[in-house]
Amino acid sequence: MGELFQARTVWEARELLGEHIKADYPVEQVPLLEAMGRRLAQDLTALDAVPGFTRSTVDGFAVRARDTFGATESLPAYLDVTGEVLMGQDAAAIGEVGVGQAWRMPTGGMLPPGADAVVMVEYTEDLDELTIGVTRPVAPGENIVLAGEDIAAGAGVLSRGHLLRPQDLGLLGAVGVSSVPVLVPPKVGIISTGDELVETWEQPGPGQVRDINSYALYGQAVAAGAQPHIYGIVRDNFNLLLDRLKQALVECDMVLLSGGSSIGTRDVAARALDTLGSPGVLFHGISIKPGKPTVGAVVEGKPVIGLPGHPVSAMVVFDLLVTPLLRHGVYLDDPLEFPVRARLTRNMRSASGREDYLRVRLYQENGELVADPVLGKSGLISTMVRATGLARIASEKEGVEAGDYIEVKLF
């Protein structure tokens, strides 16, 4: 193992891990209704256009738009009602809208040949059963959706690695997809280390604390689309930790440790990782705050991340190093990783050469998005609860001032 705390940047840490990871997750085909929250295993293409026909978006009358030009309430355009389209009916099989004619149309009905717009029923008046007056003109294309306007046949609709959301299920249903190939969720082993830890159902004694990280990391793994498995608390004992790591590496695609990675005597986790397999520990320390005492290792293609013991630090590092792998299998150069821009409410100091990540609470003020720092030490889990996002201060800055704009990633 190399010297402790030759700290790497986040991007260097990602590059080192990415060079050795073999994220080859298996694929399974599942019914569309079981695909919610799963990640696509391949790009999907629309076989059919959506909609498959030009349709009305309102209740009204299908017309030739030019027949309504100049229409007003005082001087309506009079049209003969010569047909009607019912829902689910093939309008082309009925006939064609001729000059000076109108057909009754329901919302969603198929636009008949000859028509190029629909007049809303609110802008018509019945003269008799066969004649209407149009009191407001329509332009060609008004109140209709063209065939293929939503999705063109042959167009790519969703990409590999995409996390399926409710609207995605609707889209896939629209193009006739009834089952989808998805990645089998990666299995993530979670181990908490430390002599001071007790289980959540136990009453802590003097100098003891309940295990927070197992639960927080479990939740983050689920949110990232993984299947987490908790391997419990392991004392700061080399042999015990080595045995638990071996078990987790056999059963999981990735292993997370928390605690035991700080500089000094408690380097048990780093030493254990370096004995498990090639290439072993790749870095010990990343130049961020919070989260500096992070160990990154790969064992036979499987990433093992030693997270700091402080809950905030562990969760921040998870977001930076673990979430991208669980979502994509690789680290992407994603410019939208911190997609929200907000104005900072107060001055915040930083150290040049180190990236700082601030917990922030976002709210609207005078029509603008504002980020208010949630202050507190990295051991205080309540600061994460009060925050709605994570803001980044670049390493080349020595701080930011109130009124500056910062990039934010939402929790």
- CATH number (2.40.340.10, 1.20.1090.10, 2.60.40.180, 1.10.15.40) of 340-410 reads 2.40.340.10
Closest CA to 67 of 79, 75, 59: 79
What backbone torsions phi and psi does residue 153 show, to the nearest 5 degrees? -60, 135
3-state class (DSSP) for residue 234 = strand
d(CA 23, CA 183): 11
Residue range 21-44, pLDDT digits in tens: 987 788 999 999 999 988 899 999
Tokens 């093939």 identify what position? 90
Average pLDDT over residues 72-83: 96
Superfamily of segment(s) 10-25+185-328: MoaB/Mog-like domain (3.40.980.10)
Instruction: Give the separation between CA 362 and CA 378, rounded to whole angstroms.
Output: 20
Residue by residue, DSSP assigns 118-146 as: EEEGGGEEEEETTEEEE-S---TTTTEE-
Q: Is the pLDDT of residue 335 over 70?
A: no
Domain map of the chain by residue range?
Answer: 10-25+185-328, 29-45+158-183, 55-145, 340-410
175 in Cβ contact with 156 (< 8 Å):
no
Measured distance CA(242)–CA(406) in Å, rounded: 42
The model's pLDDT over 162-194, given as tens digits with 9 standing for 90+, comes to 889 999 999 999 998 999 999 999 999 999 998
The Cα–Cα gap between 13 and 387 comes to 26
Question: What fold is seen in the domain 55-145?
Answer: Molybdopterin biosynthesis moeA protein; domain 3 (2.170.190)
Contact 67, 99 (CB under 8 A): yes
Per-residue CA distances from 302 to 29, 189, 273, 321, 410 (Å): 25, 11, 12, 14, 28
Average pLDDT score over residue span 191-220: 94
Q: DSSP secondary structure string, 35-75?
A: -TT-BBSS-EE-SS-BSSS-EESSSEEEE-GGGGTT--SSS
Q: 5 pLDDT exceeds 60?
A: no
pTM score, whole prediction: 0.79
Helix (H) or strand (E) holding 172: helix 166-174
Per the structure block, which two tokens stand in for 193?
């280390």
Could you tell me which of 235, 278, 277, 229 has the C-alpha nearest to residue 255? 229
Superfamily of domain 29-45+158-183: Molybdopterin biosynthesis moea protein, domain 2 (3.90.105.10)
The percent of residues above 90 in pLDDT, for the chain, comes to: 75
Q: What are phi and psi of 350, to 5 degrees?
A: -150, 165
Q: Check: CB of residue 97 under 8 Å from CB of residue 80.
A: no
Q: What is the pLDDT of residues 273-293, one digit of tens each?
A: 888 888 999 998 999 999 998
Residue 391 identity (one-letter amino acid): A
Higher-confidence residue of 72 and 378: namely 72
- Asked whether the predicted pLDDT for residue 1 surpasses 50, the reply is no
